[in-house]
Amino acid sequence: MPTSAPAHTKPTPTASLILAAARSIRASAALALLAAVVMAACAQPAPASPETPPTPIIPAPITAPQTPAPTPAPTATVAPTPSGSGIDSANAAGTLVQLSDPLDEPEYYCVDVPGFGANLNLQAALMAHTCKPGADDEMFALNQPRPGNLYMPAYDLCIEADGTQPLARLYLKACSDSEAQRFVYDLGGALVLSDTDLCMAVSPEDGQPTGGPSHLRRSLAMKPCADNDAALKQWRFPGSSPK
């Protein structure tokens, strides 16, 4: 006998409600998932653009104002010059070293060696004494054997300061290239020890009698140039006789 097809079963109302609810849940879940994906995509920050590092500010170098070098005071060495400045080239080979101002000695003061004749003391400090025209112990040659030297030919010795401190005394020593034997004759007539501010000067006290006929003497030393009256430190080179 032919078999009959199974009869179609109509779902109950309860089953229909359950099926509809399941479909609604699946649709809600899909929408929630889609919303979450969209929100996640929107929440990601845009890639940062590379920042340009700040440019450091380097101050311009500050240049100190240039101070012009001071102009040195005019000086002239002891070397004889035709223009003079106190030195006659004809007298440079043999001359008195005479103080320009006579002070209390009408016959003037000259650089001298203490003593006379057999009593001449070449080891003693030099002094200023009444000028003795042509006397060997007062005659000097300028710039011999070296520039700046004050040379005494009769004894083959040169004037030398015994230091660079004020009141340094002057002696006759074997000639050398020592700075202590180098003198500068400046345009004011002073004899300045090289590279110092010390000038050859006589003492301000009145001259002391020496026993000779009307002869006087004063002490002689290197003194600060600025502290001495011009009359005590200005010299000339007149040759063998004062003038």
Structure tokens at 20: 């509809």
Average pLDDT over residues 80-106: 73
Q: What is the pLDDT of residues 33-55, one digit of tens each?
A: 555 544 555 555 544 444 554 44
Q: What is residue 34's predicted lDDT score, i.e. its pLDDT?
A: 52
CB neighbour list of residue 219: distance below 8 Å, 6 or more residues apart: 125, 127, 128, 202, 203
Q: Domains in the chain, start-ordered, CATH in brackets?
A: 75-228 (2.80.10.50)
Residue 207 is which amino acid?
Answer: G
Considering the chain, what is the average pLDDT of its residues?
A: 78
Q: Is the dihedral of CA 225, 229, 233, 237 positive or negative?
A: positive
Selected residue with higher pLDDT from 236 and 88 = 236
Is residue 242 reached through a cis peptide bond, with omega within 30 degrees of 0 on the bond before it?
A: no
The structure's pTM equals 0.65
The percent of residues above 70 in pLDDT, for the chain, comes to 62
Does the pLDDT value for residue 60 go beyond 70?
no
Q: What is the pLDDT of residues 183-208, one digit of tens each?
A: 999 999 999 999 999 999 999 999 99
Query: Beta partners for 128?
Result: 111, 218
Q: What is the pLDDT of residues 94-142, one digit of tens each?
A: 999 999 999 999 999 999 999 988 899 999 999 999 999 989 999 999 9
d(CA 92, CA 80): 6
- Residue 56 burial by Cβ neighbours in a 10 Å radius (0-12, 13-18, 19+): exposed
Calculate the alpha carbon distances from 180 to 13, 159, 231 in Å. Answer: 139, 8, 24
The number of CA neighbours under 13 Å toward the Cβ of 147 is 8
> Got the DSSP string for the chain?
-PPPPPPPPPPPHHHHHHHHHHHHHHHHHHHHHHHHHHHHHHHSPPPPPPPPPPPP--PPPPPPPPPPPPPPPPEEESS--TT-TTB-GGGTTSB--EESS-TT-TT-EEEE-SS-GGG--TTSPPEEEE--TT-GGG-BEET-SSTT-EEETTTTEEEEES-SSTTB-EEEE---S-GGG-EEEETTSBEEETTSSEEEEE-SSPPEE-SSTT-EEEEEEEEEGGGS-GGGTBEEB-SSS--
Q: What is residue 33's predicted lDDT score, i.e. its pLDDT?
A: 54
